[in-house]
A = this chain, B = another copy of it.
Amino acid sequence: MVSRVESSGAMLLRGRNGSARPDKWLSQRYQTIRRMTERLAAPLSPEDCLVQSMPEASPVKWHLAHTSWFFETFVLQPHAPGYKVFHPSFSYLFNSYYNAVGDRVPRPRRGLMSRPGLDEVHAYRSSVDQAMGAYLDAKGDGLPQAVADVIELGINHEQQHQELILTDIKHALAQNPLYPAYRDDLATSANGVEVQAMEWLRVLGRLSWIGHGVPGFAFDNEGPRHQVYLDDFQIGSRLVTCGEFLEFINQGGYDRPELWLSDGWNQSQSQGWKAPLYWEQIEDAWWLRTMTGFRPIDEAEPVCHVSFYEADAFARWSNARLPTEAEWELAVAEQPLEGNFLDTGCLHPRADGPCDGLRQGFGDVWEWTRSPYTPYPGSQPISGALGEYNAKFMCNQMVLRGGSCATPASHIRATYRNFFSPETRWQFAGLRLAKDS
């Protein structure tokens, strides 16, 4: 179990709040995060790094380059005197969606870019890192706060792409009939614990504050901190397990339209969904593709790789519902920021053992909420290109909370709002139940 207090995230807070030189802290954190990205790509061949298995996913090589492009475009070009771009076409190749920055390769065509090769992309990374190092050294503690903020945003942006590297390569390798593993040497997710019955934890409704309101980095979509009124509710003590989801399958959950949202039913029927993504039925047993290869499901593990529609249908079948994001945030408010994150190195959700109170609030799987992704009251997007970061996606998306086994521990917060469209299945997403009191 990795506690966020012990992780580099803590440095962030110390750096920003404490007495040490913040510029040194930022520089060190930059290096740490950049190296981590490369470690994630290390087990992969140049060919693996090129595959784009669907328009929603990106090649690993693209992630490696795009995260560098971010620093080049938003830090080095505007702020580092005399900086020369590494390659004049990379702005076109590795822009993601920032309309304000100019044209870009259409997303579904990223997998066609065999050039620049992986080597050249690594050279690009090095070059950007060197220039960033030189820039930060030169500025020292004279680094303007506005630039420091952009760098911190870039670091957090890169962490988001770390998770995407893992989800995208999992999906890419899953297309391969050879059942390749991402790595063979990962920590096992099996921990031998016996799953405990879920308990309903009662939370008293009240006028509550949610959203980010303390010092330290947060994305613009997490604020401003504001009041919401909540009625009493109950929330599940742990995540829904594979065993419970299997029961839903066995009782015809995928064949009963009355359990589904209308859009979800249409999606499920047109895609032929019969189980979560990566599940495969072989004779009477259910198997699973994981980052370490193909193996039988473990009923004690949290169910993962379900869409919002499946999570919602499961909840209805359970005579329950998903929590709202405000309920979720209130419920975990007192929880320590620890869990099965990327840093545990098993890259798979794990069963949880006996314990009092709310469990698995952070890590393992992102938890679908019933809340559409909308702006908080009083929020204002950042102006300029970085204003495109979050706000423009606030439509047709659902909020997920809590981070997953592919999220860096130092990246997550109780106020963190992840979001995906409701049919999304390739993220490490599962669910926790809630109901009215």
Contact = CB atoms under 8 A, between A and B. Distances in A.
A264 B115 contact: no
A257 B89 CA distance: 22
Given A45-B117, A207-B207, A231-B378, A112 B392 contact: no
Interface in A67-102: 89, 92-93, 97, 99-100
A52 B261 CA distance: 25
Interface stretch (A31-39, A176-184, A212-220): A176-184
Contacts of A50: 47, 50-51, 114
Contacts of A113: 175-176
A133 interface: no
A43 interface: no
Interface residues of A, number: 66
A109 to B, nearest CB: 7
A258 B382 CA distance: 12
A429 to B, nearest CB: 16
A281 to B, nearest CB: 18
Interface in A253-295: 257-258, 260-265
Contacts of A436: 377-378
A115 B180 CA distance: 8
Interface in A364-414: 370-372, 374-375, 377-378, 387-388, 392-396
Contacts of A393: 261-263
A260 B113 CA distance: 29
A176 B388 CA distance: 26
A297 B169 CA distance: 42
B392 A261 contact: yes
Counting chain B CB atoms within 10 Å of each CB, the highest count among A48, A180, A372 belongs to A372
A337 interface: no
Contact of A396 (B116, B207, B312, B422): B422
Interface string A21-56: 000000000000000000000000111111101000
7 contacts: A47-B47, A50-B50, A51-B114, A112-B172, A114-B176, A115-B173, A263-B395
